[in-house]
Each structure stands twice: as C-alpha cells, then as structure tokens.
Amino acid sequence: MSLFSAVEMAPRDPILGLNEAFNADTRPGKVNLGVGVYYNEEGRIPLLRAVIEAEKARLAAQSPRGYLPIEGIAAYDSAVQKLLFGADSALLAEGRVVTTQSLGGTGALKTGADFLKRLLPDAVVAISNPSWENHRALFESAGFPVQNYSYYDAASQGVNLTGMLADLRALPARSIIVLHACCHNPTGVDLSSSDWQQVLEVVRERNHVPFLDIAYQGFGDGIAEDAEAVRLFADSGLQFFVSSSFSKSFSLYGERVGALSIVTASKEEAGRVLSQVKRVIRTNYSNPPTHGASVVAAVLNSPELRALWEEELGEMRQRIRALRNGMVEQLAAHGAKRDFGFVARQRGMFSYSGLTSEQVERLKNEFGIYAVGTGRICVAALNSKNLEVVTRAIVEVL
C-alpha cells in the first residue's frame, strides 16, 4: 500500500478556482472581478516607475547575494517602522518596536502566530466576520482555536459596532484580536476614528492582544491616514502586533515583501522579544530573500524615489476612488432601483457589492463577469472600458 493512499484531496481554494474558470472561458468580453490584485487602466498589474529605477540601480551595483540577517535588511526594517508609526514616533525613539522582514503580509501573520503560540498557548484568536479567508486557516494551522467577532452589517452596509464590541467583551481575557487596520478585505467597510477608540477601550479592559493587519496602506485615504489605527494603538501604551505588506502598495506581489512589527514595553523587552522571533524565523526559512526588500528600502530611503512612489500610489488610490464613483453613477444611470452610494464610501480594493450568490452566478453564466460568491468584487479590476458593460450587467441581474 502506498504511503499516500489515505491522503484526502484538500478543498480547492475558491478564488483560485474562479480564476481557472475565468481562464477557460472563451467569451471575448469576459471580466474577472474575483481577483485580489490591482490592475491599471490597461488591465495589467503595474510595474511602478519607482521600482524600475531602484531595480536599475541594484542591477548596476552588481551586489553580491549573501544571506541576509535573520531579521532582514536593517534599512528596510527601519523604513517600515517609520511608515507605520510615523517618522517622529516616540515608540521608535525609545527602541520599543521590534520589526522583522517577512515573506509578504502572510509571512508576518504566520511568524507572529507561531511566536504567540509559544507565548499564549491557550489563547483564543478572534477574526472579523467576514475576514480575509486565510486569517482563520493561518491561525488554526498555528494551533489556535479561531472564532468570529461581529463586523459587517448587511442591512446598513456598515459596521455592526455594538455587536463587535459585545463579542470582543465576551471573549476570554487575553484573546488575540485580528483587526484590519484599513481597507477591510473583503467588505471595504472600515471603522471610524471613534469606532477605533471604542475597540481600543474594550481591548484594554479585557487585556486582549491586538494583531493589526495592514495590507493596503495608502489605498484608502493616504499613507499616514491609513495608519491611523496603528498610531492610535501606539499611543495607548498597550503591547500589540502589526503585520504589513508591500504586495499592493508597491505592486510587488510575487516578491513577497512584508514585515512583522511588535510593540513592546521597553527597549530591554524588545531585545528579548526579537531574539525569540528570530528563533521562529530561523527554524522556518532561516532568513528572508534579498530582492524585494532591497528595492523597497531603496525607494523609501531616497527622497526622489519616495516622492515618485507616493505619486504613483496616489494615482492608484485616485483611480480606485474614481471607479467607485463611476460605478455608483452608472448603476443609477442604467436604472438600478437600489442606491449603491455605499460603494463610494467603502475603502481599498474590494467592495461587498450586496449581490447574492445567485446574482453572481448569473453574471458569470450570462455575461462572462466573474465575482466571488459572497458578492465581493475587486474595484481595481474595473476600468473605463469595462465599467459600462459590468454596471449594465449588474442592473440586469438585480
């Protein structure tokens, strides 16, 4: 009998399955709104000019490819810290933040989860309902039980804050709370400043451990604006975790560039925490890859390239904003009975469109328009050429 005869087939990733179906579709006008990446007006994943410049310089320097330190490139880690906490952050000046380069945002979550499992082996992890589909799987595979807290309110297309606060209060003390710092995936619905304040108070009251996931900094309202929640927690005096990613903001998906930051109570504590996080990294993949992080560090640490990047990031943000407004206008113009104004109020790449799974199925079958069964669409996959077709089709299936 083969060693593997009892291995069961794992369930298919629903989004990858959608992409396969899209690729197999031969209709010329097909549109894929199921993706999780930013496409430009030409329907392509952009290669940012700031990235091209940094890559040219890197190639020209013919730098050797030795191993990086376990925690990654120092100039990268400190640039990440400034982006998250602000260049004038007191926490950074006090040396209380530990930052390690990671394999994308996913790698940061996984390293953080493995470290937390050693620190709080009996803790419960709570994620928003709904959340990025990998949050649950990732914390479960690190050995934690994972629960949902109330988040999206379908009736108001907003946040069910009362439910959320009640659920956070009801969790065992010292639970790990995964929070989307901005541009919530999949709903596009974010907490307001006063909502964040209330969440912080419950977290403090219950001694919870906040784990802020920020994968879309700069895609919502701006670089500093999108870090508002991170900075609120930074000012609170609490200890917390942040996973961050440059996959979207630098359009470097395949280079796997992210970071795990941990806010500690003192510089001395930071040293001990770093030594343990390094052990987690060392026993998983030893040390991180060089290319993506050196490009990001070069851009963030050069005034000219940084200005160029901010401009390009601003263009991506504005394009998404314009598409959201365009979608609302065109849906109304094509006779939608429902008010879609909420789409313009959502932030980031995604929109919970309110479409039912039956409507999503009809969009696919009748129009070749692919969306996730939950009604999540990627606004950044729209453009001036497909917006009309997509909004007409949506009005058709409503």
Q: Please state the closest distance from residue 64 (CB atom) to ligand PMP, in A.
A: 27
Return the number of the residue (151 or 367) whose C-beta is nearest ligand PMP.
Answer: 151
Return the number of the residue (48 or 394) whose C-beta is nearest ligand PMP.
Answer: 48
Return the number of the residue (111 or 391) whose C-beta is nearest ligand PMP.
Answer: 111
Q: How many CB atoms lie within 10 A of CB 213?
A: 27
Residue 284's contacts (CB-CB under 8 Å, 6 or more residues apart) are 110, 111, 114
Q: Please state the closest distance from residue 337 (CB atom) to ligand PMP, in A.
A: 32
Q: How far, in Å, CA of 35 to CA of 180, rounded? A: 19
Catalytic residue among 132, 190, 226, 278: 132
Residues 257, 296 contacting (CB under 8 angstroms) = yes
Return the number of the residue (347 or 362) whose C-beta is nearest ligand PMP.
Answer: 347
Q: How far, in Å, CA of 163 to CA of 153, rounded? A: 9
Q: How many CB atoms lie within 10 A of CB 95?
A: 14
Q: Please state the closest distance from residue 23 (CB atom) to ligand PMP, in A.
A: 20
The yes or no reply on residue 167 touching ligand PMP (CB under 6 A) is no
Q: Name the residue among 97, 395, 135, 20 with its Cα closest to residue 271.
A: 97
Q: Please state the closest distance from residue 106 (CB atom) to ligand PMP, in A.
A: 3
State yes or no: is 122 an active-site residue.
Answer: no
The yes or no reply on residue 105 touching ligand PMP (CB under 6 A) is yes
Q: List for the chain the helix, strand, coil content (%; round to 5).
A: 50, 15, 40
The yes or no reply on residue 132 touching ligand PMP (CB under 6 A) is yes
The yes or no reply on residue 104 touching ligand PMP (CB under 6 A) is yes
Q: Considering only residues 32 through 61, tell me which ones interact with ligand PMP, judged by CB under 6 A.
A: 36
Distances (CA, A) of 232 to 41, 226, 241, 363: 35, 11, 13, 41
Report the catalytic residues: 132, 213, 248
Contacting residues toward ligand PMP, per CB under 6 A: 36, 104-106, 132, 180, 185, 213, 215, 245, 247, 258
